[in-house]
Amino acid sequence: MLIDAVDDSVAPMTAIDPPAVASAIVSATVPDWSREAVGLFEWQPSRKLLKTIRDYQRVAGRRALHTQLYRKWAVLRYRFWSVVTGADIPLKTRIGGGLLMPHPNGIVIHPDVVIGPNCLLMQQVTLGFRGEGVPRLGGHVDVGTGAKLLGKITLGDDAVVGACALVIADVAPGTTVFGVPAKPASQAVELAERPAAPVSAG
């Protein structure tokens, strides 16, 4: 029979190889700098913009003549890539390594915002001031298209913000929120499934 001809020395195939799954996990603490890597002649506007910010911060505060010239060169490149991307990210923003911005158009970040490692920001995201402060993002926080994060709030590691959400309160680690104002997914589902109040006949 055909089945008898199969070589028993060949390891059986599995649907998902555990080592591959482990390698796909994104760390919330260790920056993955490959997420920002860009070649000299590659057209990756968001990564080019991030590189100018990194270059500027690397030499900021140094007084040597060559570092002052390099800082000015970084500022010129920063202005160019800011126009190309349509993003407003101040040069002094504290950004952890491994930030991804696949479509940077319309991203606006307040200068005092702190972003942890390996975060993801989609287009039209705003991280802005409200009341007494600005947001602070933990590691591996994914923010969907058009979301607005405002005020002195903290998003824990591995949090996920849905598209067009308005976040004005803290988000616990590993929690997915969406809606206006944003609520944890479980609460939002409960509200959606709640029966409507009966309408009395007038």
Q: Given the DSSP bridges, would you call strands 183-184 and 176-178 parallel, antiparallel or unpaired? A: antiparallel
Q: Whole-model pTM?
A: 0.79
Query: Closest by alpha carbon to 182, among 134, 146, 129?
Result: 146
Mean pLDDT in residue range 172-183: 95
Q: Where are the domains of the chain?
A: 31-188
First to last CA, the chain: 79
Give the model confidence (pLDDT) of 134-168 as tens digits.
999 999 999 999 999 999 999 999 999 999 999 99
CA–CA distances in Å: residue 201 to residues 196, 197, 198 = 15, 13, 9
Q: Among 2.160.10.10, 3.40.250.10, 3.40.1260.10, 2.60.40.10, what is the CATH number of 31-188? A: 2.160.10.10
Q: Given the DSSP bridges, would you call strands 154-155 and 142-143 parallel, antiparallel or unpaired? A: unpaired
Percent of the chain past pLDDT 90, that is, above it, reads 71
Band (182; pLDDT cuts 50, 70, 90) = very high
Is residue 157 within 8 A of residue 141, CB to CB? The reply is yes
12: pLDDT strictly greater than 80: no
